[in-house]
Amino acid sequence: MSFSQEVKTELTEVRLRRGSDGAKLVAGATFAAASLKYSREHRTWGLHYVSESALCINFIAKLAAKSYELEPEISLNVHQRLHARNTELFLYGKDTDKLCEDAGLISFDENGDKSFETRIPDGLESEHACRAFIRGVFLACGSVSDPSSGCHAELVFKNEAVASKVAKLLAERGIPPKVSKRKNLWVVYMKNGDTVEDFLTFMGAGESMLAVRDGRMIREAANNSNREVNCLVANMEKAAKASTAQVEDIKLIICELGVDCLSEELYEVAEARMANPELTLTELAEKVGIGRSAVNYRLKKIQALAADIRSGSRIGDGK
């Protein structure tokens, strides 16, 4: 079972504390993913839903039958070429228009004339109603990435107006998402870890939120460890490169001018470096028994002497 399916399973188990919450949840799913469809078999118009999750379809059908005078018809559609299995729901009956109105898909004027428009439905001012509505939206078209791979939650819509209105509704609740177009679809998404956690908490998926938080902590710890290791490796490589250059400088000076050109202090450091090319500057200082800055100063003088040799300029005696 994917993590998204685990989240949806948890959301279907959230207790609906008010009878109206079931209707709001169905309205959210309808607003997000339903389309009008004519059934030749039943000779009527109804609402059509399609989902990869049979659990979500059955849950929405159950709540719809309980909250409205509607008949649910569930079927399985298997696409052989794409190896896809989708569960479809067709809701029809006396309250079809009422559900469409509750979902913000149609409106009636004072004369009772129907008009089709997309709007945020009425009755979402209360926190519990909005939570149920967004829960229905997520069950119909949402997903969350596995906590081990990152923080990402998204809602996918076929309609730009619906996407923008859901994004606005979330932003008003302190959960600011982003909206982008993906081929012919509109995606409302959250990538910030805190925002994803707030989104799951708002819907009532507390256990899933904790899983996302644990995943973030594990990744952050691993990233910090990797940064420390990378920094250590980089410093080691830098020290090794510097040590190799110092050894080459010493060999050049001895080959061209002989050991006697070096003062006692320079020779002491040069001898220690030749014998211990793997040591860091601090470790070399401890080996010689002087301060790190003193070792660095003497190596700089050796480097300058080698540079004079390479350039062919007049050579000092290194004393």
Q: Show me where the domains of the chain are located.
A: 3-218, 227-311
Q: Over 80: is that where the pLDDT of 315 sits?
A: no
Other Cβ atoms less than 10 A from the Cβ of 217: the count is 12
pLDDT at 264: 87
- Kindly report the pTM of this predicted structure: 0.71
Cβ-count burial 237-269 (b if 16+ within 10 Å, e if not): eebeeebeebeebbebbbeebeeebbeeebbbb
Alpha-carbon gap, residue 107 to 116, rounded angstroms: 6
Q: Are 29 and 76 in contact (CB under 8 A)?
A: no
- The first and second tokens of residue 31, run together, are 């607003």
Q: Which of 30-44, 68-82, 164-178, 200-214 is the least confident region?
A: 68-82
Q: Are 301 and 266 in contact (CB under 8 A)?
A: yes
pLDDT at 279: 86
Average pLDDT of the residues of the chain: 89
Q: Which of 43-47, 127-131, 312-316 is the least confident region?
A: 312-316
Find, among 67, 58, 56, the residue nearest to 27 by Cα.
67
Q: Most confidently modeled of 114-128, 176-190, 231-245?
A: 176-190
Alpha-carbon gap, residue 189 to 292, rounded angstroms: 54
Q: How many helices (H) and strands (E) in the chain? A: 11, 10
Other Cβ atoms less than 10 A from the Cβ of 19: the count is 9
Alpha-carbon gap, residue 26 to 117, rounded angstroms: 18
Alpha-carbon gap, residue 201 to 210, rounded angstroms: 9
Q: Over 80: is that where the pLDDT of 221 sits?
A: no
Which SS3 state, helix, strand or coil, does residue 145 take?
A: coil
Helix or strand (DSSP H, E) at 20: helix 19-33
Fold for the domain defined by 3-218:
Endonuclease I-creI (3.10.28)
Q: Most confidently modeled of 19-23, 70-74, 245-249?
A: 70-74
Query: Which pLDDT band holds residue 92 (cuts at 50, 70, 90)?
Result: very high
Percent of the chain scored above 70 by pLDDT? 97
Q: Over 90: is that where the pLDDT of 278 sits?
A: no
Q: Over 70: is that where the pLDDT of 81 sits?
A: no
Q: Tell me the residue ranges of DSSP E strands in 146-235.
A: 153-157, 178-182, 185-190
The stretch 222-246 carries a mean pLDDT of: 81
The stretch 284-312 carries a mean pLDDT of: 89
Q: Over 80: is that where the pLDDT of 317 sits?
A: no
